[in-house]
């Protein structure tokens, strides 16, 4: 992740994101408690630097700071926050980095909503934008026919509640599910969705480059096999 994300990227995303937050009808009243935005953005940059780059720069307790203003929060506001966050990160960052930052933000929002409001954020399918619905919580390295883990070439299953998407960037790879006699062919623009607890395997067809994305819910993918 550090090779794809810099401190400058984080600062740029936060500047644009909180400009949108301060202009948003739903969120602006909540953030009116911030009086020194330069200092606030510095702390936020430290937080996301620690989250994404493991720099350890952030030393605060964000939950306690939000609890001090608990009366201003509702679960729906966390969803709106996630919508703007998804829009901004998608605009400024590569897909894999944006997806990772969105997944982490959603876990933060869910935890804060549960603790502050006593309930989780509302069903994203009803109230969130499509870009915020399902984002990978982890994306593998770019594998080729040599570095692809051999375990992926034998039957294996994902744990309950975990989905995956295989995205081929170059070449093609076979995908066999539930012991089907003929594998499907995954190639650029034709990803494979892997549901939880279903035996599956990959089969090398030649030179290939691919990544695997992991989700905590069923993802929406164009042209899947």
In the three-class reduction of DSSP (H, G, I as helix; E, B as strand; rest coil), residue 8 is classed as: helix
Q: Where are the alpha helices (DSSP H) in the chain?
A: 7-22, 28-31, 37-53, 62-67, 75-92, 95-117, 124-127
Question: How many C-beta atoms lie closer than 10 Å to residue 131's C-beta?
Answer: 18
Kindly state the helix (H) or strand (E) to which residue 129 belongs, with its residue range: none
Kindly state the helix (H) or strand (E) to which residue 145 belongs, with its residue range: none
Q: Has residue 189 got a pLDDT over 90?
A: no
Question: How many C-beta atoms lie closer than 10 Å to residue 104's C-beta?
Answer: 16
Rounded distance between C-alpha atoms, residue 17 and residue 4, angstroms: 19
Q: What is the pLDDT of residue 128?
A: 42
To the question of domain 7-132 being in CATH 1.20.1250.20, the answer is: no
Strand-pairing partners, residue 138, are: 214
Q: What is the pLDDT of residues 146-169, one digit of tens each?
A: 999 999 999 999 988 788 999 999
Rounded distance between C-alpha atoms, residue 5 and residue 187, angstroms: 27
Q: Which residue has the tokens 């399918």?
A: 125
**192 CB burial (10 A radius; 0-12, 13-18, 19+):** buried
| Average pLDDT of the segment spanning 169-178 | 91
**pLDDT band for position 223 (cuts 50, 70, 90):** low
| Average pLDDT of the segment spanning 190-216 | 91
Same fold, 7-132 and 138-215: no
Contact 210, 190 (CB under 8 A): no
Of 45-54, 118-127, 142-151, 203-212, give the lowest mean pLDDT range. 118-127
CATH class, domain 138-215, is mainly beta
Q: What is the pLDDT of residues 86-137, one digit of tens each?
A: 989 988 888 888 888 999 999 899 988 888 888 888 764 343 444 445 678 8
The domain spans of the chain are 7-132, 138-215
What share of the chain has pLDDT > 70, as a percent? 90
State how far Cα 38 lies from the chain centre: 27
- Report the sign of the C-alpha dihedral through residues 163, 101, 90, 21, in that order: positive
Q: Has residue 1 got a pLDDT over 50?
A: no
Q: Has residue 225 got a pLDDT over 70?
A: no
Radius of gyration over every alpha carbon of the chain, rounded to an integer in angstroms: 20
Rounded distance between C-alpha atoms, residue 77 and residue 54, angstroms: 28
């Amino acid at each position: 992740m550090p090779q794809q994300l810099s401190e400058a990227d984080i600062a740029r995303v936060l500047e644009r994101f909180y400009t949108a937050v301060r202009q948003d009808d739903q969120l602006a009243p909540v953030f009116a408690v911030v009086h020194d935005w330069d200092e606030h953005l510095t702390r936020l940059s430290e937080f996301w630097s620690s989250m994404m780059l493991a720099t350890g720069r952030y030393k605060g307790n964000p939950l306690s700071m939000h609890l001090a203003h608990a009366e201003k929060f509702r679960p729906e506001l966390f969803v709106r926050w996630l919508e703007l966050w998804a829009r901004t990160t998608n605009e400024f960052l590569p897909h894999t980095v944006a997806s990772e930052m969105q997944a982490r933000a959603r876990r933060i929002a869910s935890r804060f909503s549960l603790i502050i409001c006593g309930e989780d954020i509302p069903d994203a399918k009803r109230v969130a934008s499509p870009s915020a619905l399902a984002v990978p919580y982890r994306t593998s390295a770019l594998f080729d026919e040599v570095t692809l883990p051999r375990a992926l070439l034998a039957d294996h299953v994902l744990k309950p509640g975990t989905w995956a998407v295989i995205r081929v960037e170059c070449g093609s790879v076979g995908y066999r599910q539930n012991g089907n006699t003929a594998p499907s062919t995954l190639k650029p623009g034709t990803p494979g969705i892997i549901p939880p607890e279903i035996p599956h395997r990959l089969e090398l067809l030649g030179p290939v480059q691919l990544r695997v994305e992991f989700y905590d819910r069923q993802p929406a993918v164009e042209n899947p096999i």
